[in-house]
A and B are shown apart, each in its own frame.
Chain A
Amino acid sequence: EAGVAQSPRYKIIEKRQSVAFWCNPISGHATLYWYQQILGQGPKLLIQFQNNGVVDDSQLPKDRFSAERLKGVDSTLKIQPAKLEDSAVYLCASSGTFEQYFGPGTRLTVT
């Protein structure tokens, strides 16, 4: 079974630039999550989708972050404009039942 796919794997941008990350969940998984993991911390949930509807986005900095899940499958997370403190690994996860399966993440460096 194919896992959660993410791209790009690495991205380096300057502050105030914009960036987008893509996630393809495991086939058939209705729930999709985006997490931010800063070095030395556990993952922090940014947004949770159920099919193509948002379940929870309470920790998403909506002034600069946006996310969508078109047709209830793939998802994109965008940051515009980026700040230095956005440097982190952005993890996508999907679940069919209770277990969440994570993708390899996108490592973002903002300079």
Chain B
Amino acid sequence: RKEVEQDPGPFNVPEGATVAFNCTYSNSASQSFFWYRQDCRKEPKLLMSVYSSGNEDGRFTAQLNRASQYISLLIRDSKLSDSATYLCVVNRGSNYKLTFGKGTLLTVNP
């Protein structure tokens, strides 16, 4: 089983749609969790951290369920500019060694 597994995608949605990405991780000792965004042929950039209590940043909501080892990202009111690959990322230890999922490609259509 891979350490971090994501929805394979791709997702194609119209502007204004709500889209959800799911991710599972295999190591129960994982300590911190993130979503990164990667535009085509660009470097990954931190989108948001994921906390057990859930957290929201504008149109983006991230959830963590430690018991199920499950992470989610919800994007409301999708914009064309949200088109990118979304990477689920897990940190196992205190040295911030990150393990990335394969990523899920989102295309928002006009």
A interface, CB within 8 angstroms of B:
31, 33, 40-45, 48, 50, 55-56, 91, 95, 98-100, 102-105
How distant is A11 from chain B, measured CB to nearest CB, in Å? 15
CB neighbours of A104 from chain B (8 A): 42-43
How distant is A89 from chain B, measured CB to nearest CB, in Å? 9
B46 to A100, Cβ gap below 8 A?
Answer: yes
Interface of B is mostly: strand
Whether, in the assembled complex, B51 has its beta carbon less than 8 Å from a beta carbon of chain A, the answer is no
B interface, CB within 8 angstroms of A:
4, 32, 42-46, 49, 87, 89, 91, 95-103
How distant is A4 from chain B, measured CB to nearest CB, in Å? 8
CB neighbours of B100 from chain A (8 A): 42-44
Cα–Cα distance between A55 and B100 once the two chains are bound (Å): 18
Interface of A is mostly: strand
A100 to B96, Cβ gap below 8 A?
Answer: yes
CB neighbours of A44 from chain B (8 A): 100
B98 to A55, Cβ gap below 8 A?
Answer: no
A41 to B44, Cβ gap below 8 A?
Answer: no
A102 to B102, Cβ gap below 8 A?
Answer: no
Task: List 18 A-B pairs, Cβ < 8 Å.
Answer: A31-B96, A33-B98, A40-B102, A41-B103, A42-B101, A42-B102, A42-B103, A43-B87, A48-B95, A48-B97, A55-B95, A55-B97, A56-B97, A98-B49, A100-B98, A102-B43, A104-B42, A104-B43
How distant is B51 from chain A, measured CB to nearest CB, in Å? 13
How distant is A49 from chain B, measured CB to nearest CB, in Å? 11
CB neighbours of B45 from chain A (8 A): 102
Partner of A42, one of B42, B87, B96: B87
Cα–Cα distance between A47 and B94 once the two chains are bound (Å): 16
A45 to B97, Cβ gap below 8 A?
Answer: yes
Closest A residue, CB atoms, query B6: A42
CB neighbours of B97 from chain A (8 A): 45, 48, 55-56
Closest B residue, CB atoms, query A50: B95
CB neighbours of B49 from chain A (8 A): 98
A105 to B87, Cβ gap below 8 A?
Answer: no
